[in-house]
Amino acid sequence: MSFCNPNEVSSLEGFEIRYAEAAINAGDWYVPPLGDVYLSRGVFRDNENALVARVPYATINADNCLIVNNLHAIRGRNTAEITLRNCTIANNISTNEGKYAIFNFENCIFAFNGDTFASDVTSPTDMLVHNCLFEGVDANKIMSIFGETVFYENGNRMGDPLFVDRGAGNYQLGAGSPAIDAGLGGVASAQDLLGHGRYDDRGMPNTGRGSPCYVDMGAFERQQDTASPDLAVIYVSDPAPEFVAAGESFTVQWTVSNVGLLPTPTSWQDIIYISTDPYLSSNDQLLQRQNHSGILQSGAGYTGTFSGVAPQIPGVYYLLVRTNAEQTFTEPIIVNNLLA
């Protein structure tokens, strides 16, 4: 399907294309005039070429598209520009042809493709990659282009996306996928490929950026929570006594509960700080570490106690309690502090 109108944007929404020589072609291979194409919520399966932009200055913009099981997923040349947001590119024999093209990838998943990602791209100036997940040969190539520091600073990550059933063609995200709640919120559309709204998985940490910070990478937004342990400080008592002079003793208690769906897997620490404000910062004084071990079942809890003496300098002070402080196991929400 060729689009050769340089004077307006051609658009397709809610479609599926299979068994085409070129499913979407911004132009006519190398021959002008160029095309300017916008795609939304599309599926490309079993094509010889999924997306082609080889005419100079041709553009393809695609949101929430699934590009799988094609011979060639993306073919760009001659200063053509291809932008993909929240797309899943997987199980293609060849991922990309990118000689002298410009690529912008945000919130995308590249996984289980048979050829090296961006095989013709050698300069990071020809590619913008933010908050994308890469697996296999795709991961190795993109890391070599940008280097490790820039790769991670741009919100990208490496790993298996944990598709629900790749063999059966189900590329939705399974529980615990590193693509969950890890996208760039400001560029994502309100709905995914299936028309689902953005969903905050309460079992996964919000590692994404922008607003909302819980957009998933790829074409599908997971619509249920991942089971995980989740320790939370649910109560902190007033000091006893509540008012003390410098150097006098006091006692504080707090309650920690596993509000997650799975038991805790290992040991952890509660840390108690004293602060001049209700916010935990590097200037706050560490008072005590308390070690905990064993399994804490879902819904179970315990009470901690700290006894100390008031500071020598009079004033108003806050006791801040942080559980699983060193993140010995991953939780969906990191509780930084609670006001005593």
User: In 78-208, where do the E strands start and end?
Assistant: 81-85, 88-90, 94-99, 102-106, 109-111, 127-130, 133-134, 157-158, 163-165, 170-173
The per-residue pLDDT for 133 is 96
Q: pLDDT (tens digit, 9 = 90+) per residue, 7-38?
A: 788 899 999 999 999 999 998 777 778 889 99
Q: Which two tokens stand for residue 249?
A: 């003793």
> Which domain-ending residue is among 156, 187, 218?
187
Q: Which two tokens stand for residue 196?
A: 């689902």
pLDDT of residue 74 exceeding 80, the answer is yes
* Cα radius of gyration rounded to whole Å, the chain: 26
Report yes or no: 47 and 66 within 8 Å, Cβ to Cβ: no
Residues of the chain by 3-state class (helix, strand, coil), percent to 5: 5, 40, 55
Tell me which of 86-90, 136-140, 242-246, 281-285 is least confident.
136-140
Q: Domain of 241?
A: 231-323
Highest mean pLDDT among 85-89, 134-138, 261-265: 85-89
Q: How many residues does the chain have?
A: 340
Q: How large a percentage of the chain has pLDDT more than 90?
A: 61
Q: Is 183 in the same domain as 255? A: no
Q: Which residues contact 340 (CB under 8 A, 6 or more apart)?
A: 236, 237, 238, 239, 252, 254, 318, 319, 320, 321
pLDDT of residue 137 exceeding 80, the answer is no
Q: Which residues contact 256 (CB under 8 A, 6 or more apart)?
A: 231, 232, 233, 234, 270, 301, 302, 303, 304, 323
Q: Is 172 in the same domain as 264? A: no
pLDDT of residue 334 exceeding 50, the answer is no
The per-residue pLDDT for 134 is 93
Q: Is residue 208 part of a domain?
A: no
The per-residue pLDDT for 280 is 85
The Cα-based distances of 283 to 247, 273, 276, 277, 278 in angstroms read 21, 10, 9, 10, 12
Q: Is 151 in the same domain as 291? A: no
Q: Is residue 207 part of a domain?
A: no
The per-residue pLDDT for 98 is 67
Q: How many domains does the chain have?
A: 2
Q: Is residue 88 part of a domain?
A: yes
Q: pLDDT (tens digit, 9 = 90+) per residue, 194-238?
A: 999 999 998 888 899 999 999 999 999 999 988 888 899 999 999
> Which domain-ending residue is among 129, 161, 187?
187
pLDDT of residue 294 exceeding 70, the answer is yes
pLDDT of residue 131 exceeding 60, the answer is yes
With tokens 């308390």, the residue in question is: 290
Q: What is the mean pLDDT of residues 299-316?
A: 93
pLDDT of residue 333 exceeding 80, the answer is no
The per-residue pLDDT for 339 is 29
Q: Is 7 in the same domain as 136? A: yes
Separation of CA 232 from chain center: 23
The per-residue pLDDT for 200 is 93
